[in-house]
Structure 1
């Protein structure tokens, strides 16, 4: 199992009693998410130029805004097992480099939770990578939070030790509880990520818009 050696990240003693309690509070048939769930929730977009991740209610996915071409309104998502699902861009924010996709149907994977807050410098992170590229997940670290010229609306971009490649843009970085904390943005070896704090609430708001929202033209923040 790909995530077997990563189980400590979800319920390790180093994360404290609070995390252990959260893990123990889950239903017996649904353990804490692991890196296999991250890999399953990670998708490639269209012709494979970027990646994304299914989050929250399973009807929405996040990706990087710079992955959205100017005339894009629809996109095809490909999952780890080769299945495909279409969706509509309903929110695109170039300043934060984030975009939200409303899926035509609920994805048949375990969606990932979006963390409410920023990770802290020194915190361990996991990068599972694209689902169409073989390789082991990377254990990375958040080196610092800071400004990035290509993220003008982000006061605290994530500068990490992950080793990315072109095409990884929009792929998720997760914390020890497998919650999405960032999306690959770029930089040297794709080590910079845009934070996703607050996007869980945004997805919830968009979800409450229902089918009518999904049929609208893409929403542009800039």
Structure 2
């Protein structure tokens, strides 16, 4: 399978509208939410995504110092925010942080289920450089040597660039299913389904603590 071309918003909306007739969720028609929820790590060497309650951020574990307690990120509009480390899992290449305050964007939910081969996904990459939203395919699930604790990494047709690690890959519901890990053209993503309960537990604890 080959990657679909980079799509401008009008073209993507048309593509999503056509696929919606085949069962796509209508939320797929709001692709800019993907770009708004994507952040750039400072210094700008990787990406991440604001998830669930807007207070939590996921990025690739290989993008951060596992001993560092804090990171700084930039939103699409340039706003900078600080975040505190909660859990870094090098084996799954996932790292979870809590932002100092809720981000002024619509956060993306994490899918509790793995995507299936042949599924159409979306990827946008970092916001601090030119690029567009890519409609891509999940080619297969399989082992990746650099993801020792992941039995089913996502092998996609996305064409990323160096520095897109940590950028989200979403399904038709705009739910995060993986974060860019690497590989040829950065096409392999670390799945987030197994990490979803961890994120939700932290989010629920924050809600209880605030009451």
Aligned to 1:67: 63
Residue aligning to 1:6 = 12
State the number of aligned residues: 200
Can you list the C-alpha shifts for 1:1-28, whole angstroms capped at 9, x where unaligned?
x644434538812126xx4xxx5xxxxx
Shift of 1:128: 1.0
CA distance in 1, matches of 2:110, 2:206: 20
Does 132-141 or 38-47 show the bigger shift? 132-141
State the Cα distance separating 1:89 from its structure 2 match. Answer: 1.2
Is the contact between residue 86 and residue 103 of structure 1 (CA under 8 Å) also seen in structure 2? Answer: yes
What's the Cα RMSD here? Answer: 2.1
Contact 1:77 1:84 in 2 (8 A): yes
- CA–CA separation in structure 1 for the residues paired with 2:159 and 2:28: 26
What's the TM-score once normalised by structure 2's chain length? 0.88
In the alignment, what sits opposite 1:218? Answer: none
- Residue in 2 that maps onto 1:142: 138
Q: Which runs of 5+ in 2 are unaligned?
A: 1-7
Does residue 79 of structure 1 match 2:85?
A: no
What is the aligned partner in structure 1 of residue 195 from structure 2?
199
Q: 1:4 and 1:58, CA in 2 relative to 1: closer, same or farther beyond 3 A?
A: farther
- From the superposition, tell whether residues 178 and 9 of structure 1 become closer, same or farther in structure 2 (CA, over 3 Å): farther
CA distance in 1, matches of 2:176, 2:66: 26
Q: Secondary structure at the match of 1:111?
A: coil
Matches within 5 A, 1:92-131: 92-131=88-127
**What are the Cα deviations for residues 156-182 of structure 1, in whole angstroms up to 9, with x where unaligned?**
000011111111000001111211111
The alignment partner of 2:102 has SS state of coil
Contact in 2 for aligned 1:33/1:177 (Cα 8 Å) = no
Structure 1: 4+ residue segments shifted above 4 A: none
